[in-house]
Amino acid sequence: VAANPYWLAEGRAPLASGELREALETPSSRAHKALMDSLAALPLEARRMLPETIAALLQMRRRSDEPLVGHGADSSSGPGLGGLAEKIDEAGVLRKVNRHLLTRFMMLTVLCYLDRTNLAFAALQLNRDLGFSELVYGLGSSVFFFTYAIAQVPSNMALVRVGGPLWLGIIVTFWGIVATCFAGLTTATSFYVLRLLLGLAEAGTFPGLWYMLTLFYTTSEVAVAYAICQAGSVAAQVVGAPLAAGLLAMDGFLGLDGWQWLFLAEGLPTVAFGIWLRMTLADAPATAKFLQPAERQWLSARNQAHKEMAADMAEVEWEGIRHWKTWALAALDICISTTKYALLYFLPLIIYQILGARNDRAADAAKIAEGGKVPLHDDDDGFTAGEGEGPNEVLVALLTAVPFAVAAFSTVGNAWHSKRSGERLWHVVAPLVVSAASMVALASTMGSHAGLAFASLMGAVLAWAPGGILSAYPSAYLSGPAA
């Protein structure tokens, strides 16, 4: 920083060694304030260079014998730590943080998506037993997002006020109770009310999860930590299908329908998890019981120093918000999310209808061979498949795991190939074009060609494939904090 040409162009003399050290080590000092004020006043191009400039300075200071910062990875060292970091096993501290936070938050994500999507599997029996039409089911699925959207900000405000462990414990327990209550559904009205309550309960989960991660990780670490937590959503979709198949097979056991067992078995564990989360989750680095006192002090000082530096350069981030590509990516994400949630909530019913059409054609062929007339099949309700019994719900639930497995592997494989080849654009465009074309093909073949329809379904789930690449795409046209 002392040798930065922009700094010298401001008419300032290079900082003396003692002043520079005080400015970087002591966030409350006048030297630190003067340094940050000057850096904030630099031109945009100069501020883009700041992260690299500061990193280079810290690396240079590590080579010397002066204890300005501790030895370790750039991402875990920072200004304002003095010689404290030299006494701490930084990698060991972060491993403890990962075990404590990421394990719990991955479990939270899995439970969240199991409770959110078990409706799609329950619908195989629930719609038939309660007489729900496509309209009732579709409306009930979508009203969830009304309360989910409007309650996110108020929920996070409450979390900041009362603390992460208490608030997350409350909302997780509440949504577990609501999810369990679905086992007592009798009318469309109760269905709508419970879906609204579930959206209200789950609204603060992921914003709260992100907030808790920012207390323990630096800006450069939190994105990776959040991505690891989000991996639980894919795991829930793959594991949820065979789990639902087993629970649906309990139809009639102890006088309960299979869909009732599904809601009970996936809702009650969430209640227990919410209570456990409240009792065990650390509130902040300074009070984390899984760390030693010196480790708490180091982690708190490290994160505070990084947050102050990020706050001093926050104006740069507005460059990303104002950029037209950011808004284009947001619009694209809305389209992708619409496709993903449509498949998430209707995939078991789509497979049910594909198998039902296949069974109808087989029955028709048998009647023709016997010289009989082909019956007219009434598929208007979307949940029946001609005369006789429909496809086996357990088989449908098991088959649902196949498209979700394709989605999981395509996401990982597409991201890996994009990183290996260094190309991003076509790794986003190609899967989305295939997904869009497959959706059109699925709509035209679902009632007539079971094989083509199921193959189209495999192409439709490629809407998940660009997910990881899109998350990193801003770094292609932005730099520094703006990215």
Mean pLDDT for the stretch of residues 440-451? 85
Q: How confident is the model at residue 10 (pLDDT cuts 50, 70, 90)?
A: very low
pLDDT of residue 61 exceeding 90, the answer is: no
pLDDT digits over 310-328, tens only?
554 455 556 667 778 888 8
Sign of the four-CA dihedral 417, 423, 424, 429? negative
Average pLDDT for the chain: 75
Angstrom distance (rounded) from CA 287 to CA 307? 18
Closest by CA position to 126, among listed 309, 258, 297: 258
44 pLDDT band, cuts 50/70/90, is low
SS3 letters for 437-476? HHHHHHHHHCCCCHHHHHHHHHHHHHHHCCHHHHHHHHHH
Give the model's pLDDT for residue 72. Answer: 38
Number of CB atoms found within 10 A of residue 293's CB = 8
Residue 193's pLDDT band, with cuts at 50, 70 and 90, is very high
Residue 158 has pLDDT above 80, yes or no: yes
Identify the band that residue 399 occupies on the pLDDT scale cut at 50, 70 and 90: confident
Local confidence band at 50 (pLDDT 50, 70, 90 cut-offs): low
> Residue 29: its pLDDT value, please?
63
**Residue 237 or residue 73, greater confidence:** 237
Cα separation, 423 vs 439, in Å, equals 26
Q: How does pLDDT run across 338-375, given as a tens digit for each residue?
A: 888 888 888 888 888 888 755 555 454 445 455 554 44
Please, which residues have CB within 8 angstroms of residue 53's CB and are 6 or more apart in sequence?
1, 4
Q: Which of 247, 272, 240, 271 is nearest to 261 (CA)?
A: 247
Q: Is residue 439 scored above 60 in pLDDT?
A: yes
Runs of H (alpha helix) within 131-204: 134-150, 152-162, 164-181, 188-202
Confidence label for 435 from pLDDT (cuts 50, 70 and 90): very high
DSSP state of 373: P
**Distance (Å, whole) CA 19 – CA 465:** 51
Assess whether pLDDT exceeds 60 at residue 139.
yes
16: pLDDT confidence band, cut at 50, 70 and 90?
A: low
In this predicted model, which residue has the larger pLDDT, 358 or 462?
462
Contact between 196 and 147 under an 8 Å Cβ cutoff? The reply is yes
Please tell me the distance from the alpha carbon of residue 183 to that of residue 262, in angstroms, as a whole number. Answer: 8
Residues 161-188 have a mean pLDDT of 92
Contact of 387 with 378, CB cutoff 8 Å: no
CB 86 within 8 A of CB 76: no
Joined tokens for residue 29: 């000092």
**Residue 409 C-alpha from the chain's centroid:** 17
> Per-residue confidence at 430, pLDDT binned at 50, 70, 90?
very high
Under the banding of pLDDT at 50, 70 and 90, the label for residue 66 is very low
CB 1 within 8 A of CB 7: yes
């498209």: which residue's tokens? 403
SS3 106: helix
DSSP state letter for 256: -
**What is the distance between the alpha carbons of residues 244 and 240, in angstroms, rounded to a whole number?**
6
Of 323, 331, 329, 330, the C-alpha closest to 425 is: 329
Give the pLDDT band of residue 59 (cuts 50, 70, 90).
Answer: very low
Q: What is the mean pLDDT of residues 374-380?
A: 44
pLDDT winner (highest mean) among 176-190, 235-249, 349-363, 443-457: 176-190
Per-residue pLDDT averaged across 221-249, rounded? 77
Q: Which of 164-168, 234-238, 286-290, 388-392 has the lowest mean pLDDT?
A: 388-392
Q: How many CA atoms lie within 13 A of 75 on its CB side?
A: 11
Has residue 3 got a pLDDT over 50?
Answer: no
The helix or strand, by DSSP H or E, that contains position 478, with its residue range, turns out to be none
What pLDDT is attached to residue 33?
Answer: 64
Higher pLDDT, 415 or 20: 415
Q: What angle do CA 421, 423, 428 make, to 5 degrees?
A: 125
**What's the average model confidence in pLDDT over 159-188?**
91
Q: With the C-alpha atoms ordered 196, 198, 204, 207, is the resulting torsion angle positive or negative?
A: negative
Query: Is 80 exceeded by the pLDDT of residue 102?
Result: yes
Whether the per-residue pLDDT at 476 is higher than 90: the answer is: no
CA distance 62 to 98: 26
